[in-house]
Each structure stands twice: as structure tokens, then as C-alpha cells.
Structure 1
Amino acid sequence: MVAQPVESSQLEARLSQLHALVAAIPLAAYSDQTPAEARRTAMALRTLESMLRTHVSAAVRAVDRLVPTRQASQLLAGDFGLDAATAHREIKDARVLAAASAAERAAADGRISLPHAMVIGAALRQLPEQVNPEQRRLAEAQLIVDAASLSPKDLTTRARRITELYDEVEAVDAYEDQLLTRAETRARSRASLSMWDNHDGTWQGRFVLPELQARMLKTVVDAFAAPRRSHLEQLRLSRLERARAEVENDKPYDRKAGEALMALIEHLPTDGLPTTGGTPARIVITIDEAKLRSATPATLATGERISAGQLRRLACSHGILPAVLGGAGIPVELGRSQRLFSAAQRDALAVMDGGCVAPGCDRPPAWCEAHHGGLPFADGGKTDLNQGYLLCSAHHHDAHQRKWRFRRAPDGRAEVDRGRGWERHHRYRP
């Protein structure tokens, strides 16, 4: 249903009614719900929040059209209880959303979230100048459909290849590479590091890193800090040692990450820095063999895309494990000769799955374990790549306890049957 225009007096009256309705709900009412009811309520309120934020953006844009930007920032800062910089960001976001009127209406109706609509607006603003109105409409409509199954992050990756709806693949590759190069250049110019002494034996800091370098750092940190299925090893420990191990596993992730960073610093190859200090992490990059030397973007195992220029630069100075699609393979079939999946198989699964394959899970490959998706090894199963699936620790436990079934679809994507039919993760994989 299309909303009908209303006069200013009607708008104020309806907003007053909405205000009264929300104010009439006592906060204590939420605590009287069952967990299932509270979850549904939270979802409904999140949807309403996104719808309201979209209306706020439309109102901000109206102020922006009538008042010079600096004055508008000051006015909105006073009205919303914000600082001028935050109000200015509100204005910039409202302008981005103006580029995607259909996506904005979908967000206002609650069909997609405001962050999804913002991604679509930014994508449409970046389309080449030669794109005609019909192609722009087609791209926006497809991204609205994709927003129903993709996270804002995955939708951003999808949007960089939206021109494939009407363009040849070579042009799509070139367009995506241009966007990635521009974003990497901008990110590199914003890189920073600040550290200060707390005068209590500790230091504190903050940093800003581009996507690739941040992922490389996180890969190392996760290798130290990611949760692991250690119960089998703990059977060999004494009761006191198991208690200590449980305390260690209960640490918050930021604590574990801090300890991982310390370990990383202590193990840096300082004898060769800065000329030969290699990258102490294994980064898997996927690219089609036929495009290895062309200006074609590549994919990290975690799903992020990097430009061809970034790939060539890394290949000169860093240890990269290339997963070349269509190229010479590596041993991936171990059969009954080995129970655990090899490092090469784990790298291949990271490329194939991009993280935990349980629908809706966002755990990256470094947090996952390789699961025998066919027969368990103890029952005669094989440690072969086509039997392997990445699962985070929690979903790995569920898969065994609840006897999930797994299979590979013809396109190579993992599908899971958790007792209600075959499902697949909607993680976007270019």
C-alpha cells in the first residue's frame, strides 16, 4: 500500500498520536513476557526503530533543503541534543538516502532496515555516470530484494558487482576494482596509531587500519584467542588443571585478544625488521586462474574483496597462500589415513564456506572447526574435502548432538538440514 501525502497539521497530529502510544507502554510490561515473547517484541521494536530513523532522515533532509548546511547542523544539534559534528553526519546520511527513493520507502515501511537502505543509497551514488535511469532502477530493485537475505556488510560487497545486471563481466570486474582501489586509497590515508602511558604500568592506544591489514592482524589474534573444543584434551588433565583451563576459557574475548596481541609482539621476527619482516599470518586469497594477471579483484577467505593492485603488491612482499580456482590443486583427499583435516583442507574449506555454514551464524573461518559432514570418522567416515564443513564451536556441538545432515549443492555451497529441510547460509560469495 502506498502512503498518501498528508498536510502539515495532519502530520503533527499523527506524530502526537504515535508519541502518546509509545509513552503509554510501561517499561515493566517487557519483564512480564516469556523469553519467546520478549524476543518477538525486541524484533518488532527494532523494526519500528529503523522505520522511525528513516522518517528522521527524511525530516533532516527537509531542514537541509531550507537552511544552509552549517546553520542546519547547529539547528539540528540543538533540537536533537547532539553536537554539531554528529548533526552534520545526520545531514550527510540523509543526502545519501535521497539517492535511493525506493529503498528509503522500503525502510520506512519496515521491509528492509535503515542500514540496508543506506548501503543501497551509497551504491547508487557510486554508479558510473553513463548508467541510464532504467539501469539505475533495476539495480536499486535488485538490491532491495538482496537486502532481505544479506547483512549490510554482505550487501555492500554485493552492491559493488550490481552492474552485472546489465553489463559484461569484464566491465563489472573493472568497475568493482575501481571502487575497491578508491576505498583502499581512502582507507590508507586514514590509517593512524596513538599510544599513551597510563602511568600505572600499562599503556593504552587506538588505531585505524584499512580492511586488509586489519583482517591480517585479526587472523593472527584469532589464532591465539578463538574459542576451541578443548574438552577432549582436558580429559587428560588433573581436576585442578581443568578448573584453571575453565577459568581461562571464560575470559572475555577482549582480554584474550589483548593477550594474543602481547604474544604477537613478543614473537615478531625482529632480526629482519623492517626490510624482511614477513607477515606472521596466513592469508588465503581466491582468484580465478584465467584472471590472475588481469585487473580483477580477489577474495579473502573471510569474504572481503581486495583490488588487483593490492594483490600484486602483497604478492611481492608477503606470504600469501593462493587458492587459484581452476589451477593446480593441492592434496585434499586423505580418506581413512588421517582423522583430523589437514591445514590445506582447512584453507580450502575457508575459501568454500567463508565461515560457519550454520544459517545465520557470522563466525569467521578462524573461529571454526572442520566437521565430518558424512559418516563420523569413528563410524567409517573419510577425511575428504567433499565431506568437510566449517562450523563454529557451538554449532559443531549442535551438529553432533542433534544429528544435522550436510551436503554440497551443485554450486559448491554448503546446505544444512537441521530437521526442517535443507537450508543454506546467505553469506554473499562473489
Structure 2
Amino acid sequence: MRFLAELASRAETVAGHGALDVESAALPAALREMPDDAVIALLEEASALIGCAERLRVAVAGVIAERSAAPHGGLAGTLGHRSPVTLVQEITGGSRGEASRTVRVGAALLEGPPADPDAGPEAGPGDGAVAPPFVWHRGLRDAMLCGTVTAAQHDAIRRGLGDPRDCAGAAEVWAIAAQQLTEEAPGMPVEELAKRARAVRDVLDPVGAEERFAPRFAGRGFRTWTDADGVHHARIDFDDEAYAWVQSITDAALRPRRGGPRFMTDAERTQADDLVNDPRTNEQLTYDLMMDILRAGALASTEDVFGARQPGVRLVVVKDAVGPRDPFGRLLAVGHVEDGGDAVPGSVLDRALCDTGSVVVTVDGCGNPLDVGREQRLFSGKQRMALAVRDGGCLWPGCDRPPSYCEAHHADHWAEDHGRTDIDRGVLLCRFHHLLLHNQGWKISREGAGPFVLHPPRGRAGDRQGRAAEDTVLRSKSPVRWAWDPPPDRGGWRAA
């Protein structure tokens, strides 16, 4: 469909809601009178219209950036603007960050030769013609122009992957990664998509991961000062590993208050309830915790500060992906923090192996580790570790809760379905979604070694304009998912 025809069609669909034929000031009141299914449908239709207009705005911003390249004499300069970003910001009325992204995505759309809609998939240069340069993100660009991904999703993938190294075959591998991320983008939060793109980049480029880690480590610092009113302040600039440790410490202490598991024993449940009911703010609790940690360094044991939930940072690395060492003796491998999936380079892995050792989690071709059977009701600590490696956090679509904030759910209920406490029948869910599933009639099923599938409450199957509620395939959020789930029909892509 041609662009103007699509834009007109989207606008016509929204205009078909007669309830919106009111003065602008009366719009909120009119929406309040609409039924639930009409409100949801209208949001979907309005989003599609906005997405269509967004493609136009981004493409126009790219052309403005291209015409503003000449200093002073460029388009932005002739209109009195220092850069195309400030010009776009003035016209759109948005933030500088939004204008920067619009210009950045628009400029990326113009890189390389323009797409020829009349050319077939095998079209190439004619006899004697010079082949156009290979643009690794052309598929991503085309997905943006066709409306498959939004500008925010395009930016997350493009910036997350970065540019490939200047070596043979790298651009082609980046193109495969971009295509896979493009296919995963629909329904995935932009933050999660950006994290996934960075994880893929670090797997493809372990040398670059070390180079990116180095300046952040060199920039670490701790500074204190006292202002004019005598109030004492501090600022910490973390390196990646230290930040993961501090995050683990605060998570271990405040997890029940932030919606994490409430634990199982009476003593732990009482401790969690006391924390939830504590009158202090989270910031005050964090401050008091940090002061306790400083005192614990000389005066107390870790049990005095943390009780049963001691903190720790697990690093996950694919064993077979550990490569050789560079000329400086650094391990050419990339690991990922279990909570959040942030990448750490081989030098950090080396030190962790020396300090704490390792635990091997063996998985099959579908990512499923060991079975325990029905002898025990609850998943063991090692099983939960394996679930964290396989699932990467709460599997509920759109949820960003990390493994440490999750509970293990039996896909086959223990009593009702005679469920087994096996890894291949369990999934990670955060406390909110675990309770939602049990209390609202949702179910999770799995056929053999296939994917886990989320089934909505069947009593609500026709709530939205008579359409049946759709089942949803649950996707792992693990940063090392590629180890057992390579892109379809591309089993050798990692060796490319």
C-alpha cells in the first residue's frame, strides 16, 4: 500500500468512531462513555495512525539533517539553528532527547542506496555495473519504513548493536542479528529490546566488550562534599561489576518491599512483613543499609545485616563460547549478570573464577536442565539457578522483573494436575504475575519440548469486539538464549 493511502486509511478508521464527533474540550468525557472494547480498539487504531505519521516525521527529519550538513549554509543554519536537532525540537515541541532520536533514526534511513520496490529479491547490478555498498541495517530500515517497528524500536536495535568491526563477514553477521531482533521487536518493551541488542553485540564482539568496559572502570570514583548549609553529600561513579554488587545488596534487603518473593518459612515471612510495614522510605532504608554494611566490615557478620537473604552476583557464561586469550592474556569471552543481563568482559570472568569458582548448568537443545521428579514440592536452589539461566526473569510478556524477583511456577499444578517439580515444567514469574495467574484463571502449558504458552482466562475470550483472546508464546529473556535458540534456519550464524 502506498504511504498516503495507508495514512488516509488509518485516519478514516479512527474517524469512524462517531462518539468522537465532539468539541475537543469534550473528548475526555466522550471517551468515558465508550465501552471497554471500543476504548482498547481506539487506542490500537490511534497508535497505528501515530506510527504512520511518525514514519513521515522521522523521514523528513532525516532529510533536514542531510540538508543541514554544511556549516552555517545548511538548512538548519539558514533558519538560525545551530543543528538540525534544535530545528526539529522547535517544530515538534518535544524534548531534546526526542528530537535527537528523531534526527538520528531519520539519518539512518538515508544511509546506503534507496530501496527499489520494483526490484525482485535477487535483483543485482547489471553487466559492468558496480554493486552498491552493503548496508547491514537495511532490513531494519525497511522494517521501520513499512511500519513493522517503531522509531524507538529502530533506535534501540541500531544503537544497541552499534557498528560492526571492520573485518571480513562482520557486516553480514550484524545484518542477521538485526533481522532477528526486528522479528522479536513486536510486543517487546523498548528497554528490553535495547538490552537484548547490547547482549547480542557483546556476544558477537567480545574484544569490543572489553574495550567498552575499560573506560567505565577507569571512570570509577567516590567523592564527598559539604554544601553551604552543612549538609554532607556523596557521589559514586560505578564500574559495571561494582554496580551489580551494590544492586544485589539492595535487592537482597528490599526485595519483599519492591514486590519480590515473600519467602516460605514463618520467620522469613514475618521479616518480610515487617519490612513492608516499615515507615521509612526506600531511600532511607537504602541509606541505613549502606551504613550497616560499612559497620559490618569491621564489627558484624553478614548474617547480622542481611539475615537469610545474603547478596551475591552470579555471572552466566556459555562454556563452549569461551575463546582464547588476547595478547594481554585477557580471556576472549563475554558473561552476563544473571539479574538484568548486563555484559561483563573476560577479565571480570577470570577474576570471578579465581575468587569464587563456577557451577556448571548443563542444558539440552531446548535449554532444559535437570529433572527432580515429584519427590519434592518446591524447586531446589540449583533448579532455580537453572531457571534463571534459561528464562532470564519473569516470562510474562512485557515484564522486566529479573530472576531474583521471581518465583518458580509449576506449569502443571502440584495438586490439581499431579505436576512434577521438573525444570522443563517450571517457569519463572514475578510475584505480581504469579498471583495474577492463579487468581484470575490464566494458565501456562507446554507440549513436550515446545515453547511455554500463556492462555488467557477462557471466560473472557470474547471481551474485545467479539475476538477470541489469543494465546501467547512465552519467550526467554536470558542474554545467552542464543546458545540453544539460534535464529531459524541459521544454525551456523555464530561461525559466520
Q: Same fold (TM over 0.5)?
A: yes
Give the partner amino acid of 2:314: V
RMSD: 5.0
Give the partner amino acid of 1:410: A
Q: Are residues 1:355 and 2:355 paired? A: no
Task: Choose which of 121, 139, 143 in structure 1 pairs with 2:158.
Answer: 121
Q: Are residues 1:425 and 2:471 paired? A: no
For residues 137 and 229 of structure 1, the distance between their equivalents in structure 2, rounded to whole angstroms, comes to 40
Aligned length: 391
For residues 202 and 44 of structure 1, the distance between their equivalents in structure 2, rounded to whole angstroms, comes to 52
**CA, structure 1 residues 40+367, in 2 after alignment: closer, same or farther (shift >3 Å)?**
farther
Structure 1: 5+ residue stretches without partners = 6-13, 164-171, 273-279
Q: Are residues 1:394 and 2:432 paired? A: yes
Q: Give the match's secondary structure for 2:379.
A: coil
Report if aligned partners of 2:407, 2:430 keep a CA contact under 8 Å in 1: yes
Spell out the pairing of 1:96-107 with structure 2 (5 A cutoff): 96-99=108-111, 100=137, 102-107=139-144
**CA, structure 1 residues 97+23, in 2 after alignment: closer, same or farther (shift >3 Å)?**
farther
Deviates more, 1:63-72 or 1:343-352: 63-72
For residues 346 and 98 of structure 1, the distance between their equivalents in structure 2, rounded to whole angstroms, comes to 47
Give the partner amino acid of 2:389: V
Deviates more, 1:388-397 or 1:54-63: 54-63
Task: Choose which of 343, 352, 355 in structure 2 pairs with 1:314.
Answer: 352
For residues 240 and 41 of structure 2, the distance between their equivalents in structure 1, rounded to whole angstroms, comes to 35
Give the partner amino acid of 2:298: D
Task: Choose which of 244, 249, 262 in structure 2 pairs with 1:215.
Answer: 244
Higher helix share: 1
Report if aligned partners of 1:341, 1:383 keep a CA contact under 8 Å in 2: yes
For residues 301 and 408 of structure 1, the distance between their equivalents in structure 2, rounded to whole angstroms, comes to 27
Partner in structure 2 of residue 11 of structure 1: none
1:310 Cα shift? 2.7
Give the partner amino acid of 2:449: P
Report if aligned partners of 1:123, 1:160 keep a CA contact under 8 Å in 2: yes
1:113 Cα shift? 1.5
Give the partner amino acid of 2:318: D
For residues 252 and 21 of structure 2, the distance between their equivalents in structure 1, rounded to whole angstroms, comes to 46
Partner in structure 1 of residue 86 of structure 2: 77
Task: Choose which of 443, 447, 450 in structure 2 pairs with 1:404.
Answer: 443
What's the CA shift string for 1:85-139, capped at 9, x where partnerless?
Answer: 9866764554445444553453344321212211343367512333488777655
Spell out the pairing of 1:156-235 with structure 2 (5 A cutoff): 156=194, 159=197, 175-188=204-217, 191=220, 209-226=238-255, 227-228=259-260, 230=262
Q: Are residues 1:285 and 2:315 paired? A: yes
For residues 126 and 42 of structure 1, the distance between their equivalents in structure 2, rounded to whole angstroms, comes to 36
Structure 2: 5+ residue stretches without partners = 6-10, 112-136, 300-309, 325-331, 458-469, 483-496
For residues 146 and 399 of structure 2, the distance between their equivalents in structure 1, rounded to whole angstroms, comes to 27
Task: Choose which of 270, 282, 290 in structure 2 pairs with 1:256.
Answer: 282
Give the partner amino acid of 1:281: P
1:285 Cα shift? 2.4
Task: Choose which of 148, 155, 160 in structure 1 pairs with 2:186.
Answer: 148
For residues 236 and 128 of structure 1, the distance between their equivalents in structure 2, rounded to whole angstroms, comes to 50
Partner in structure 1 of residue 304 of structure 2: none
For residues 354 and 454 of structure 2, the distance between their equivalents in structure 1, rounded to whole angstroms, comes to 40
**CA, structure 1 residues 41+191, in 2 after alignment: closer, same or farther (shift >3 Å)?**
farther
1:369 Cα shift? 1.3
**CA, structure 1 residues 406+300, in 2 after alignment: closer, same or farther (shift >3 Å)?**
farther
Q: Give the match's secondary structure for 1:374.
A: coil
Partner in structure 1 of residue 149 of structure 2: 112
**CA, structure 1 residues 349+203, in 2 after alignment: closer, same or farther (shift >3 Å)?**
farther
What's the CA shift string for 1:271-316, capped at 9, x where partnerless?
Answer: 39xxxxxxx7322223333444642322332333333233113334
Partner in structure 2 of residue 57 of structure 1: 58
**CA, structure 1 residues 50+354, in 2 after alignment: closer, same or farther (shift >3 Å)?**
same
- Normalising by structure 1, report the TM-score: 0.68
1:368 Cα shift? 1.0
- Normalising by structure 2, report the TM-score: 0.61
